Structure 1
Amino acid sequence: MTATADGGEPAVSKGTVHLVHLYPREMSIYGDLGNTRALASRLRWHGYSAVVHDHHPGAPWPEQVHLVLGGGGQDSGQARVQEDLAVQADRLRGLAADGVPMLMICGMYQLFGQAFVTAEGRRLPGLGILDVTTTGNPTRMIGPVVLDTPIGQVVGYENHSGATVLGEGQEPFGRVRHGQGNNGTDGTEGARTGNVIGSYLHGPILPANPALSDHLLELAATRATGSWEPAEVDDSIAEQAHQRQVRRLLRG
């Protein structure tokens, strides 16, 4: 595990928020490390200090955790983290049950589910934090996505061959306006239980979705300091990128 304080800390900090990035070497092949960097930067812009813990297989767990992130990876990357994930399973389940916000993308989304069933029929168990099951699919789902979510409209880019099905009563992260989503058929994308969000959206997802970023940060900062005191942040560039994708995909 490595821990770093985000550069350019505010002169007077409103408090320190600890972010944990799970397996950044093995599970961050589609730019998902950008989510961690975006959150650390936004914390600084809002007047907080950020400490980022990179959790690698076999490393000790940090003493303080206010938000957990995970990204996408190839099947080989998932295999390399399976042993450590089993060691951390009860801790992660406990943190999720206690309300710690988490954002799991693509491969880590699948590993936070009930199971991944390979194309050959082999069932690989997941953490069960999200009630989803993923099956290997010969058809790859690739392209830009627009979602409607309770947090607002979200844009991103999907690239996955796993077809994910929600368990009965499992809330999706969002409803697909454009794209394939979980499986290309039921109109759902991702899953959400408590403060845990799973999604297939890369991009990375957070820089172009500042409302989603600040939703996660509000949960994390409140957990760390007892309150959330956001500052005025200029999100004009992020909003332009967001709206251009929406206009291109939904309005022609």
Structure 2
Amino acid sequence: MSSTTSKGEVHLVHLYPQEMSIYGDLGNTRCLAARLRWHGYTPVVHNHGPGDPWPERADLLLGGGGQDSGQLRVQDDLAVQADRLRELAAAGTPMLMVCGMYQLLGEAFITAEGARLPGLGILDVTTRGNERRMIGPVVLQTDFGSVVGYENHSGSTVLGSGQAVFGRVRYGQGNNGRDSTEGARVHNVVGTYLHGPVLPANPALADGLLEIACRRATGDWQPAEVDDTVARRAHEAQVSRLVQSGSARRR
């Protein structure tokens, strides 16, 4: 699509794609860029690594999961960008932060040995490391409708008393395997443990984030007709297999 027919530019910032994208989370950025083009907008993707200058525009931010070593490599830069990220979150900038980046946006991560590592405090969640991993497919009910994905984390996350959830678990473990919560949401910031990547099989979630970003970036949201048949089939197959089969661990 030529620039003369574009409905406007939308700038996507992927935080630490080399250090924090080990479970396919880079696919979320590619999904959003593709959907922006399908809807008639022009995506501009910025990959922000440790020490990089911050982009002049940031209409939607994404971050993924990583190993402990990856989290350590981004800590210094995250501290530099902390105030900026808090300001963007408070201003309503949409963000999708998965697994490790979800944890880093919380209040703290407490290691299995008891050391407390402070987070950015954007989300009122606290995560504690443990030996048991929570692995497997997940089905959620969210404000964006049904959401499916795959979790793989050893961190057990607890929400503060006033913290809104991203979704309620219909199948899977979620934040901690005990309270039926998954992820957290404040303003337009979504934190979640769902990999997959999560967005290709959840077009309603992808477009929900894009609507917020496009309205902020261009003043309007003018979606086009997009054929999501394959995505819907993949989504419905996971829901049917896990929930409607009767074998689901209902919460």
TM over 0.5, shorter chain: yes
Runs of 4+ in 1 over 4 A off after TM superposition: 8-11
Indicate the percent of aligned positions where both proteins have the same amino acid: 74
Alignment counterpart, residue 86 of structure 2, candidates 93, 96, 106? 93
- 1:36-66, Cα deviation, whole Å (9 max, x unpaired): 0000000000000000000000000000110
Please say if 1:45 is aligned against 2:38. Answer: yes
The residue correspondences of 1:207-218 to structure 2 (distance < 5 A) are: 207-218=200-211
Would you say the 8 A contact 1:16–1:49 is kept in 2?
yes
Please say if 1:200 is aligned against 2:193. Answer: yes
Residue 142 of structure 2: aligned partner: 149
Would you say the 8 A contact 1:172–1:191 is kept in 2?
yes
Would you say the 8 A contact 1:20–1:53 is kept in 2?
yes
Please say if 1:31 is aligned against 2:24. Answer: yes
Q: Distance in 2 between matches of 1:137 and 1:222?
A: 41
TM-score (norm 1): 0.96
Give structure 1 stretches of 5+ with no counterpart.
Answer: 1-7
CA displacement at 1:10 relative to structure 2: 6.6
Residue 55 of structure 1: aligned partner: 48
Residue 106 of structure 1: aligned partner: 99
Residue 119 of structure 1: aligned partner: 112
TM-score (norm 2): 0.96
Q: Distance in 2 between matches of 1:18 and 1:218?
A: 13
How many corresponding residue pairs?
245
**2:5 match: secondary structure:** coil
Which residue identity is paired with 2:71?
Q
Residue 238 of structure 2: aligned partner: 245
Q: Distance in 1 between matches of 2:214 and 2:58?
A: 11
Would you say the 8 A contact 1:71–1:106 is kept in 2?
yes
**1:19 match: secondary structure:** strand
Q: Distance in 1 between matches of 2:8 and 2:235?
A: 30
Alignment counterpart, residue 188 of structure 1, candidates 181, 185, 190? 181
Q: Distance in 2 between matches of 1:69 and 1:79?
A: 18
**1:57 match: secondary structure:** coil
CA displacement at 1:80 relative to structure 2: 0.3
CA displacement at 1:137 relative to structure 2: 1.2
Residue 135 of structure 1: aligned partner: 128
Give structure 2 stretches of 5+ with no counterpart.
Answer: 246-251
CA displacement at 1:151 relative to structure 2: 1.1
Alignment counterpart, residue 226 of structure 1, candidates 207, 219, 222? 219
Coordinate RMSD, CA, aligned: 0.8
Q: Distance in 2 between matches of 1:40 and 1:222?
A: 16
Alignment counterpart, residue 65 of structure 1, candidates 58, 71, 95? 58
Would you say the 8 A contact 1:133–1:164 is kept in 2?
yes
Would you say the 8 A contact 1:109–1:200 is kept in 2?
yes
In structure 2, the CA distance between the partners of 1:9 and 1:116, relative to structure 1 (3 Å rule), is farther
CA displacement at 1:11 relative to structure 2: 6.0
Would you say the 8 A contact 1:155–1:245 is kept in 2?
yes
- 1:66-96, Cα deviation, whole Å (9 max, x unpaired): 0000000000000000000000000000000
- 1:101-152, Cα deviation, whole Å (9 max, x unpaired): 0000000000000000000000000000000000001110000000000110
Q: Distance in 1 between matches of 2:149 and 2:16?
A: 22
CA displacement at 1:251 relative to structure 2: 1.6
CA displacement at 1:9 relative to structure 2: 5.7
